[in-house]
């Protein structure tokens, strides 16, 4: 059961209309290492993970959905006042022609989101290492977005998201150690 509170996990502020920055943020919306792929990956993997860590995957998946909402809000605010000419100049004229200013799941290069971004091996340790890698890739992408952004308000939200990726990576590392300890215990029947 879910309870939706009509506020973002962290406030999203935008200094100015900037469709070019929105184009780059779309990577975290519909890219391979973005928030949608992460949320769906963790929701999917929780069905084959041991009970000791199932709650962790569920909790982080839900948080990733809230990050997706933050990214969507950033993109919307960066483009809502943009003219068609600004959208074309930013390199997202094709997006505008197909979707106006509506969000659509694709990466910064315009490649549509695909389920092949979701990894699930069925081996808990392998899946958790995949999750650690996904969080570290998302952290790196947030850092690169901060590096190219000149919007201090957007950067505040991006720093928050980057730090949450670090926390998720650490939590997945803890889960690996829990499962490794369980594997090494002698079993008596």
Q: Does residue 153 have a known ligand-binding role?
A: no
Tell me the residue ranges of DSSP E strands in the chain.
none
Number of Cβ within a 10 Å radius of residue 97: 11
Rounded to an integer, what distance in angstroms lies between the CA atom of residue 96 and that of residue 103? 10
Q: Does residue 135 have a known ligand-binding role?
A: yes
Rounded to an integer, what distance in angstroms lies between the CA atom of residue 100 and that of residue 20? 15
Q: Does residue 67 have a known ligand-binding role?
A: yes
Q: Does residue 168 have a known ligand-binding role?
A: yes
Q: Does residue 51 have a known ligand-binding role?
A: no
Q: Does residue 136 have a known ligand-binding role?
A: no
What three-state secondary structure class fits 2? coil
The rounded radius of gyration (Å) of the Cα atoms in the chain is 18
Binding residues for Mn(2+): 35, 64, 67, 135, 168
Binding annotation: 35, 59, 64, 67, 135, 168
Binding residues for Ca(2+): 59
């Amino acid at each position: 059961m879910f309870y939706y509170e009509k506020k973002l996990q962290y406030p999203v502020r935008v200094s100015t209309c900037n469709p070019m920055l929105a184009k780059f943020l779309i990577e975290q919306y519909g890219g391979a290492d973005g928030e949608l792929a992460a949320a769906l990956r963790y929701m999917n993997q929780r069905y084959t993970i041991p009970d000791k860590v199932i709650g962790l995957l569920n909790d982080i998946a839900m948080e990733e959905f809230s990050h997706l909402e933050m990214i969507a809000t950033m993109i919307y605010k960066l483009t809502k006042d943009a003219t068609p000419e600004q959208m074309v100049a930013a390199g997202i004229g094709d997006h505008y022609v197909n979707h106006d200013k509506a969000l659509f799941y694709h990466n910064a290069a315009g490649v549509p989101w695909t389920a092949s971004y979701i990894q699930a091996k069925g081996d808990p340790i392998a899946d958790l290492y995949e999750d650690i890698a996904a969080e570290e890739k998302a952290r790196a992408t947030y850092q690169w977005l901060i590096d190219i952004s000149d919007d201090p308000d957007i950067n505040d939200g991006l720093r928050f998201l980057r730090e949450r990726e670090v926390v998720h990576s650490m939590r997945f590392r803890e889960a690996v150690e829990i499962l490794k300890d369980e594997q090494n215990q002698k079993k008596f029947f």
